[in-house]
Chains A and B, each alone.
Chain A
Amino acid sequence: ALPGATSYAEYGAASEVLPPGTEASTVPPAASGDSDPSPTLKLGAKSNCIIVSARQRGNPILKFVRNVPWEFGEIVPDYVLGQSTCALFLSLRYHNLNPNYIHARLQLLGKTYAVQVLLVQVDVKDPHQALKELAKMCILADCTLILAWSPEEAGRYLETYKAYEQKPADLLKEKVDQDFLSIVTDCLTSVKSVNKTDALSLLSTFGVSHLLPISVQTGPYHC
């Protein structure tokens, strides 16, 4: 369904052939409507694979997606990395040749996923001006900008997004010793006015069941 020039592998040749104005034609016809998410999105559908848009066929980064399976599918973004995560891929060299391409893609994508990654491969010598524009664009379009400096690194990001789809944030949190005292101290000190010494003295006076409601007198969770 897609015009040949839209696949990644051919962009180099295509960009020379096509006049700059034809970027709009890179929009796949399957999802021309902005308002309703295309039926092929399958939002919420669970899959163990990264779903790759056909337009990414031939992209060298696919060679480096090795730890996670992937398959082609009809999707609006370039990659669907989970139920609520997707990614657009952009090579800066391509962007410099076709600065409007990414605009069109972002517009088409809209805000359909919770995490929308713009994965940019830095493959030009002086990327700063382009990166600045992309940074601003990402803030306006609610995208997470991720930079990779090699196809390996870009592929690794795709893998990681998929592999970490369900991963809890424990890895990012401060490590707490797994004995009772550390846990309870950590728990109590999350209340702002309590420090570690306080926590211990409270604990020696009250049992946990008494302590918890006392320390958090705010009551309901709802604001």
Chain B
Amino acid sequence: MLCSFLGRASATAASLPAQPVMAAVLEHENQVFLDLFHQDGLVICARGLGIDRILLRFLRLYCEPASLVLVLNTSPAEEEYFIDQLRSDGVVHLPRRVTNEITSNCRYEVYTQGGVLFATSRILVVDFLTDRIPSDLITGILVYKAHRIIESCQEAFILRLFRQKNKKGFIKAFTDNAIAFNTGFCHVERVMRNLFVRKLYLWPRFHIAVNSFLEKHKPEVVEIHVSMTPAMLTIQTSILDILNVCLRELKRFNPALEVEDLSLENAIGKPFDKTIRHYLDPLWHQLGAKTKSLVQDLKILRTLLQYLTQYDCVTFLNLVESLRATEKAFGQNSGWLFLDSSTSMFVNARARVYRIPDDKISKKSKVSEKMDMKEGKELKRELVLESNPKWEALREVLKEIESENNNSEHLGGPGQVLICASDDRTCAQLREYIIAGAEALLMRLYNKTFGKDERAAEAWIKDRKAVKSKGNAKSDTGPQAKKAKVEASSKQNKIMKKQDLTLTQMMGKTEEEDIAEEMEGYKELSSSEEINTEETKPEDFHLNLASDAYYGIFKNPLTIIHPLQGCSDPYALTRLLHEVEPRYVVMYDAELTFVRQLEIYKASRPGKPLRVYFLIYGGSTEEQRYLTVLRKEKEAFEKLIREKASMVIPEEREGRDETNLDLVRDSTSATVSTDTRKAGGQDQKSVQQTIIVDMREFRSELPSLIHRRGIDIEPVTLEVGDYILTPDICIERKSISDLIGSLNNGRLYSQCISMSRYYKRPILLIEFDPSKSFSLTSRGSLHQEISSNDITSKLTLLTLHFPRLRILWCPSPHATAELFEELKQNRPQPDAAIAMAITADSEIVPESDKYNPGPQDFLLKIPGVNAKNCRVLMNHVKSISELVTLSQEKLLEILGNAVSAKQLYDFIHISYAEAISKAKTKR
């Protein structure tokens, strides 16, 4: 059920010789490596099955000065990890990073030194275009996360440039995201085309080689199906009910939506938010308020579901209550709050935390003052504080491990324990739970969130004590829950004794303030405990571990809690795993990638025992979510296998000769004598089209698309404009968010000023995101009155002030590239040297202005001078030197406005000392 783990394995293969080599080569990995080494291709491997290890092997192979290998699509954290791994393997010629910290002049040297290079894509594009990189010397390119290589992206552009200039080098691509290929039409084929590879290697988990090999090295697995409390179950059912209603409504309002992807099963999965955005973004501006609020509701409901199983009852109730409060405060009537199911959810959420004794309420007359009754209720709250069933299961597991560690001489001493939970917050809670116990944790949380309800708390503690003593007296007959409580408290005592071993300082950073607060609260708690227990100074133990996000609990045997997600370093858990080498792993939350990683980890240390405990709420959404992920990946691979079988790959795909049509850029650059695309007697057919592009623009996909059209690109640093199409046409490209930002901060205004000054045809290009709606304002966002804050108003004002400024509206970068090509037709080519030299000091276009722009800008900034009287002033006063000599009367005569004249005069003739004192008094 859980991956290949099918219950408890009877015995481990202890007979195999123990190898201390950490990075032992695994059979199937060897095969992947050899296959790919002999022929270029794309490897798609199951998640967690060690795609990073395979890439690492290739890196190790090419870490030598004789080869030059580029690695694309790695993040800084991944690069760090790979370099660290290679360093610990004793590789001398370590990979280097080519980022903007290395100046352009030094880069050629870096390239010629060889070895493996992690390079920023933007830099590589520019270097390929300017031939700064010796493309003929490149041994090959390794592409990580290859599922992201779509046609227009920078990496695809790099590969195309590489193949155009280098026919011999290899291209090998890696990915472990099979699900990504499940979207779109022929996705895998298109990716392979962009990668220029012919071979597709598929390595699903159910691949025979992988399966049989991992079968041999199965870790011992214990699945613990924890059952949810009745209250939790009811809440879960209610939430699912509401989710279902919301989904149905959503479909009803938007019949165009694909029904298949909006099933309840998908709705509880992680990527649902993304899916729904994917569907709705392009038509977001057309959606009614109802749909938008439904989308919001779905998000909330999913959060609720997650909180239910992830955190304690108090946190959950807090979330629920806050929803209720916002609904009351803002009157957001989302509808579902009035469903029967939601009432049952509220009731049960409260019942998990406290109950209000019925008899007392019924005694009070219903007509009596409500305030009084409310107070009475507040005071009469009896705390229930239901503990998380998983917590108790965890306690049991830890107990089992402890007892096993006590007689573990034959295994060479006690084994380390690693507990994995999904996020930081859970980890913090678990840690507190293990050290302080459920009661203390819940009490603290309750006091924090719902105020210090001293009486109820005291009552609760008293009650607990009573139960405890009762439990001690007849522990055999007590109900199971009570029994667990007793065990818990006895365990707690044990831990108290071990106080000197616990860690009161949280090592590692917290990501949410929430956690920080919680931990603070915990510190208080532990410090008070400290005083109680004869002031033993807790030993601060600093483990020199690679990850900084873990929570240590016990030192001996080392017990550590680590989050599965949300670490700044994506390999934190992997590093920790190999460093701590735990014998016991407790999966508080199941995650596919890590489960597979554990299998690999086990297989790479044959003979060493590993036991994995799974804690899962049986029949819960949590379990369902895990199974869905598993199924999705399997289906994705099955689809890939089918596609692979029917795929037709042209011989010339790799582009090693001249026949690959993808490498032939459009008409103009090719040496075709007859050009059918352009009719009407062009006499400059032989001229190579060129566009000058600003360096900073290489972050966008537009340069790649322009290049694809057969237009040469000259990357230079431009002070004015982003793209120079012809000597006259200068284009400033703005995405919608850029446009809004630069209209607000004044940057666009100054950019338009300089474009108008130096070019005959200044153009503002507004580029829309093709995945979003092609519209500037959303429906219904128009105010009754003209508002100067609207983007349309600002755009209007801009065009009024720059009559020569043209505006292009492009729905996508593809459309932009096409338009650029057409705008260039029959027009002369731009000159990069001239474009680069255009700075504020250059000569201006004659028709733009008869005045020198420098002093004009200067004048306009002086108080009392504005756009209207600036001209008059410049016509009357020859220079600024003359201006400062004029009397106030003369200024008045020129400006014709007493206020302006005074402002101007005062500004010029104020002394520094006066100015400073003036400024101070103002403050």
Contacts and interface: CB of A to CB of B under 8 A. Distances in A.
B919 A180 contact: yes
A183 B794 contact: no
A82 B910 CA distance: 40
Contacts of B796: 146, 157, 160-161, 164
A144 B799 contact: yes
Interface string B879-904: 11101100000000000000000000
Contacts of A218: 852, 854-855
Contact of A213 (B805, B867, B879): B879
Contacts of A164: 793, 796-797, 800
A122 B773 CA distance: 13
Interface stretch (B71-79, B556-564, B781-789): B781-789
Interface string B452-483: 00000000000000000000000000000000
A183 B907 contact: yes
B874 A221 contact: yes
A91 to B, nearest CB: 16
A128 B811 contact: yes
B840 interface: yes
A208 B788 contact: no
Contacts of B874: 221
B856 to A, nearest CB: 6
B909 A223 contact: no
Contacts of B803: 84, 114-115, 144
Contacts of B747: 174
A117 B908 CA distance: 41
A222 B881 contact: no
B862 A187 contact: yes
B855 A216 contact: yes
Nearest to A174: B746
B879 A147 contact: no
B819 A115 contact: no
Interface residues of A, number: 69
B851 A156 contact: no
A163 interface: yes
B807 A144 contact: yes
Nearest to B805: A144
A175 interface: yes
A19 interface: no
Given A132-B819, A220-B879, A221-B855, A171 B794 contact: yes
A122 B763 CA distance: 21
Nearest to A152: B782
A44 B641 CA distance: 73
Nearest to A158: B796
Given A85-B800, A145-B807, A147-B809, A212 B819 contact: no
B436 to A, nearest CB: 53
A203 interface: yes
Interface stretch (A9-17, A47-55, A94-102, A133-141): A133-141
Contact of A136 (B823, B863, B907, B912): B823
A172 B747 CA distance: 8
B230 to A, nearest CB: 53
Contact of A207 (B777, B911, B922): B911
B293 interface: no
Contacts of B839: 192
B752 to A, nearest CB: 9
Given A114-B803, A169-B801, A187 B858 contact: yes
A164 B911 CA distance: 38
Contacts of B285: 149
A115 B795 CA distance: 13
A203 B808 CA distance: 44
B815 interface: yes
B780 to A, nearest CB: 9
A144 B806 contact: yes
Contact of A180 (B761, B782, B909, B918): B918
B775 interface: yes
A216 B856 CA distance: 11
Contact of B880 (A132, A139, A216): A216
Contact of B797 (A169, A190, A206, A207): A169
B749 A165 contact: no
A153 interface: yes
Contact of A159 (B761, B763, B786, B857): B786
Contact of B852 (A85, A135, A223): A223
Nearest to B910: A208
Given A117-B799, A209-B884, A186 B851 contact: no
Contact of A212 (B748, B822, B880): B880
B866 interface: yes
Interface in B834-856: 839-841, 843-844, 850-852, 854-856
B786 A67 contact: yes
Contacts of B908: 208-209, 212
A46 interface: no
Contacts of A143: 806
B365 interface: no
B328 interface: no
B786 A160 contact: yes
Interface string A165-208: 10111011111100111011011001110000000000110111
Contact of B786 (A139, A163, A220, A222): A163
Nearest to A149: B775
Given A153-B792, A161-B800, A181-B915, A145 B855 contact: no
B807 A220 contact: no
Which 3 residue pairs across A and B have the least CB separation, nearest first?
A174-B746, A213-B881, A187-B861
16 contacts: A114-B803, A128-B811, A159-B786, A161-B800, A163-B786, A172-B749, A174-B747, A183-B862, A186-B861, A192-B854, A212-B858, A212-B884, A216-B854, A218-B854, A222-B851, A222-B852
Given A144-B803, A219-B879, 8 more contacts: A164-B797, A169-B797, A183-B863, A192-B840, A192-B841, A207-B910, A222-B851, A223-B851
